[in-house]
Structure 1
Amino acid sequence: MNSMKDIRKIIGTAPMFMPAAGIILYQNGKILLQKRGDNGKWALHGGAMEMGETTEETAVREAREEIGITPVELDFYGVFSGKQMYHIYPDGNEVYIISTVYFCDEYSGELKVDENEVLEVKWFDIDKLPENIAPIDSFILENIHEYIEAKYK
């Protein structure tokens, strides 16, 4: 059952809450971002939770589906909500995302993008993130320098 689609049949494109989870993949001072197929913006890896999933399960599933990797260990990064997490999808659907985000610096598998969702993946230096980054992800990454500094002291 795809609960989001079922709800959309009833409410149309009206704003709704969307629980989600995502991952910041980090390696040697760089973050792996994906260029989204729906809007061409750079973004973190993640997406909507499915019924019965934990946030960790969602984050791992999304990483596998979108870029073919399996996170080995997830460190809690933060929960993000509020006006900054408002998003309108290209189909007009409006959401207020409530996203639990994890930090991961160890994973298995090889990068392989889901060509239906992802145009490209690229490692970016944390000091040189792209300008065309999704506003939600820009908000999530506002304090990434402080997080990394504290984690690797």
Structure 2
Amino acid sequence: MGYVLKLRQQVGHQPLVVVGAAVLATNAVGEIALVKRIDNHCWGLPAGSTEPGETTEATAQRELREETGLTVTDVQLVQVFSGPAMHYQYPNGDVIDSVTILYRGMVTGGTLVTTTDETAGAAFFALDQLPQPLTPLTAYMLSRLQA
């Protein structure tokens, strides 16, 4: 059980400030990997919360591997996102104010896995042909990159 899930046992659905990472994992033709989440049925960047003692770079790489089966060996910082637009309530009622560090990396290995215990799909998409709906946090982060 992860750090945030353990906290949830203590605080219930109360808002938590959660630090995490997401990754723009690109393939050889510049498409990005997205996953379709089971909890809200939306497409989003591979992402998750940072565990104690873990760097956010390692979080980005771990979440990509867990959610897609893919690996990136060199991630580069893109931007840090926080504030009111990063407030989110999960379908189960859990509330977070996310501080998400977004990285970019070229896929260097692995085999795309389309389903996991958290995802109902995974695929590569061109930035001008993204699937809908996107998770609110992914939509916000991608919109800020194109602004």
For structure 2, which runs of at least 5 residues remain unmatched after alignment? none
CA drift of 1:73 comes to 1.3
Residues 5 and 120 (structure 1), Cα distance of their counterparts in 2 relative to 1, 3 Å cut: closer
TM-score by length of 1: 0.87
- Flag as ranges the 4+ runs of structure 1 deviating above 4 A: none
Q: Distance in 1 between matches of 2:88 and 2:146?
A: 25
Letter in 2 for 1:112: V
Query: For 1:22-70, what per-residue CA distance to the aligned partner results, in whole angstroms no more than 9, with x for missing partners?
Result: 1011232322211111111000001011111000111111111111111
Are residue 10 (structure 1) and residue 10 (structure 2) matched? yes
1:113–1:121 CA contact under 8 A, matched in 2: yes
TM-score by length of 2: 0.91
Moved more, 110-119 or 13-22: 110-119
CA drift of 1:126 comes to 0.9
Residues 117 and 96 (structure 1), Cα distance of their counterparts in 2 relative to 1, 3 Å cut: same
Residues 12 and 58 (structure 1), Cα distance of their counterparts in 2 relative to 1, 3 Å cut: same
Aligned length: 146
Alpha-carbon RMSD: 1.7
Partner of 1:23: 23
CA drift of 1:117 comes to 0.8
Q: How does 1:135-146 map to 2 (within 5 A)?
A: 135-145=136-146
Identity of aligned residues (%): 33
Secondary structure of the corresponding residue to residue 51 of structure 1: coil
